[in-house]
Amino acid sequence: MYENLLANIPTELWIGGQWRESSDKSRFDVLDPATEDVIASVASATVDDAAAAVDAAADAAAEWAARSPRERCEVLRRAFELLTANAERFARLITLENGKALPDSRSEVAYAAEFFRWFGEEGVRNLGQLSRAPSSGARIVVQHRPAGVAVLVTPWNYPAAMATRKIAPALAAGCSVVLKPASETPLTMLALMPLLQEAGVPAGVVNVVPSRRSGAVVSGMLHDMRVRVVSFTGSTEVGVKLLHEAADNVVRPAMELGGNAPFIVFEDADLDEALDGAMIAKMRNQGEACTAANRFYVHESVHDAFAQKLSSRMNALKMGNGLENGVTLGPLVNGDTRDKVQELVEDAIAKGAKVTAGGKRPDGKGFFYPATVLTHVPVSANLVREEIFGPVAALQTFSTEAEVIELANKTEFGLIAYVYTRDMKRGLRVSEKLDFGMVGLNRGVVSDPAAPFGGMKQSGLGREGGHEGLMEFLQTQYISVEW
């Protein structure tokens, strides 16, 4: 099964439009999380390789930036078409290296491709401004120029979409990029490079440097004067480190960091719709999503019915190798992630939580953890404060609107919150009081290339998608004109 899928998948560094081995010849293994088998050995970039990638990006930058927006956007449109035409191959590859079930991988590829389409449309709308200075005869001309070489660092949970969400706006803006994908899942982006080349992306405009030495490699690039943007998606812990690194050369940061999403079910919610939303918000990507519902707050009058129905839906999921037909819950990405989920569940149980589904790690190969529901979760449980990043729904109850708003906001994170109620007046009132960059109001999924995705507080800085996503890769210049 693997041989076919992995045939012709590149495993070297992609620098200046060519495949290269690492300068010290080092490599690292990529595993299939369902079997723990090694599926590929990938070149591990050194600091020198990363510098060569910045050279390539800097050399390619001027010509790419000088092209007309329409020309650049047509390349992006072709990238959308090519990725869509190859969707199944990419979906299988994502499942192979990340573990997620095929339906999740298919959704991811569609979502990833949409960023090329959206920014291929948005890139021709780089609007400036002309106005008259209020107290002189001068004119104020404002335009937005490509920000320069961008370093992109992405996580393993969406190997395609987290990268295209950065590559597409960067290219639309006229920037060239160096991407460092997560070491768990480097194959998807390497496989995308021939497609981007076929779409017409010139050599050096997109470079990919997988590496086991992420810290040194990224730090090296952020201390190169030609790098002007760092766009990172990953944990808050690493994001904070990169903000410090970026400060040295005043590199502009865009940070998509961790979350701790509340999922609020009011007593007047349509319970079946709330359950549909809960299954998506919790179980998309087997819970390995920054947008995953982490804390369920269910009104005390509907809690028992909600818990019972959620448990039976969770028990109905089929856990197994994500490549097999009918599987809806794949393994977690690696042993550490699975062990952390298990520890969080055990901690909650020790502090009084009750298990109504799952809760027990299976024996055997593969980083599997079952769909789990915990009720009576005490506020002292670690999973109330920490991102679970796994298929575990942790339920608490509440009685009043004011109480649940306070509970929901009691976190240093602020990425996304979900609210279910039939009363739209209440829904909007509560949404406005939630300190989160995004709110799903009677919706379990909000991700949309046309909308600004991003967090408040320690969940990040900047936005991806929408028009805002383009602006992250542009810098404003004002020219004062004696008219």
Binding site for ligand NAD (CB under 6 A): 153-157, 162, 180, 182-183, 214-215, 218, 233-235, 238, 241-242, 256-259, 290, 387, 415, 455, 460
Give whichever of 242 and 271 is closer to ligand NAD, judged by the CB atom: 242
Give whichever of 55 and 245 is closer to ligand NAD, judged by the CB atom: 245
Catalytic residue among 184, 256, 387, 464: 256
Give whichever of 92 and 165 is closer to ligand NAD, judged by the CB atom: 165
Give the shortest CB-165-to-ligand NAD separation in angstroms: 8
Q: Distance between CA atoms of 434 and 99, rounded to whole angstroms?
A: 33
Give the shortest CB-198-to-ligand NAD separation in angstroms: 26
DSSP per position, 149-201? EEEEE--SSSTTHHHHHHHHHHHHHT--EEEE--TTS-HHHHHHHHHHHHHTP
Q: Distance between CA atoms of 178 and 196, rounded to whole angstroms?
A: 14
CA-closest candidate to residue 342, choices 352, 332, 354:
332
Tokens representing 177 are 């990029």
Paired strand residues for 295: 262
Give the shortest CB-304-to-ligand NAD separation in angstroms: 31
Paired strand residues for 440: 418
Apex 182 CA angle, 256 and 343, nearest 5: 80
97 a catalytic residue: no
- Find tokens 């200046």 and name the residue: 16
- Residues contacting residue 142 through CB under 8 Å, at least 6 positions apart: 128, 129, 130, 131, 476, 477, 478, 479
> Which of 426-430's residues contact partners 24+ apart within 8 Å by CB, and which partners?
426/266, 426/401, 430/264, 430/401, 430/404, 430/405
Give the shortest CB-118-to-ligand NAD separation in angstroms: 16
CA-CA distances (angstroms) from residue 125 to 64, 122, 165? 17, 5, 18
Give whichever of 271 and 293 is closer to ligand NAD, judged by the CB atom: 293
> Which of 36-39's residues contact partners 24+ apart within 8 Å by CB, and which partners?
36/365, 36/366, 36/367, 37/2, 39/2, 39/6, 39/96, 39/97, 39/187
Q: Distance between CA atoms of 213 and 228, rounded to whole angstroms?
A: 21
The torsion region of residue 285 among left (phi > 0), alpha (psi -120 to 50) and beta comes to left
Start-to-end CA distance of the chain, whole Å, equals 69
432 a catalytic residue: no
Crossing angle for the helix pair 87-98 and 69-85, nearest 10 degrees?
70
Give the shortest CB-205-to-ligand NAD separation in angstroms: 21
Give the shortest CB-153-to-ligand NAD separation in angstroms: 5
Give whichever of 219 and 356 is closer to ligand NAD, judged by the CB atom: 219
Give whichever of 215 and 335 is closer to ligand NAD, judged by the CB atom: 215
DSSP per position, 329-370? B---SSHHHHHHHHHHHHHHHHTT-EEEE--SPPPSSS----
Give the shortest CB-455-to-ligand NAD separation in angstroms: 6
Give whichever of 193 and 271 is closer to ligand NAD, judged by the CB atom: 193
Catalytic residue among 114, 290, 387, 464: 290
Give whichever of 237 and 300 is closer to ligand NAD, judged by the CB atom: 237
Residue at shortest CB range from ligand NAD: 234
Give the shortest CB-424-to-ligand NAD separation in angstroms: 27
Catalytically active residues, by annotation = 256, 290
